Amino acid sequence: MRRLVRPCLICLVSTVGAAGCGGGSLPTSPSTPTTPVPTGPTITIESGAATPKQLVVTPGTRVLFVNRDTRTHQMNSDPHPAHTECPELNQVGFLRPGDTRETGNLNTVRTCGFHDHDDPNNAALRGSLVIRP
């Protein structure tokens, strides 16, 4: 009896082990995560500059800020240092290299200036969002 139980037990353990480990399936290559391509109105920071310098959007729009630069940036609304002109823009805030952040809904018709809080006088990192119908 012992001779019969042992081979069956080994067979059962190896079958359960293979099923639990995904036995029988072919190995798959690991997928490489990709950075999503921004859609909609976007300000891109790259090589120490924000582009485009002026972006026109309709009320209710959100604008995406993408940091493709090698350093961090803190994007805020004008005037510096109060940042009171466009509070929705201040939601972007601190961007590490590779970060993407969105403004709040830009509902009010106006022009919102923006800048890098840590480098407020750098014209390359200044721009404006024009909200109009």
* All structural domains of the chain: 42-131 (2.60.40.420)
The mean pLDDT of 112-118, rounded to a whole number, is 98
pLDDT score of 34: 46
- Torsion 95-98-104-110 (CA) sign: positive
pLDDT score of 77: 98
pLDDT in tens, 73-100: 999 999 999 999 999 999 999 999 999 9
Query: Are 131 and 114 contacting, i.e. CB atoms less than 8 angstroms apart?
Result: no
Give the C-alpha separation, 63 to 60, whole Å.
10
Radius of gyration of the chain (CA): 27
Count CB atoms within 10 A of the CB of residue 91. Answer: 17
pLDDT in tens, 45-76: 999 999 999 999 999 999 999 999 999 999 99
The dihedral formed by the CA atoms of 111, 112, 115 and 121, expressed in degrees to the nearest 10: 50
Q: E strand or H helix at 11, and its extent? A: helix 2-20
> Does the pLDDT of residue 18 top 50, yes or no?
no
Sole residue written with tokens 């109105």: 41
pLDDT score of 16: 46
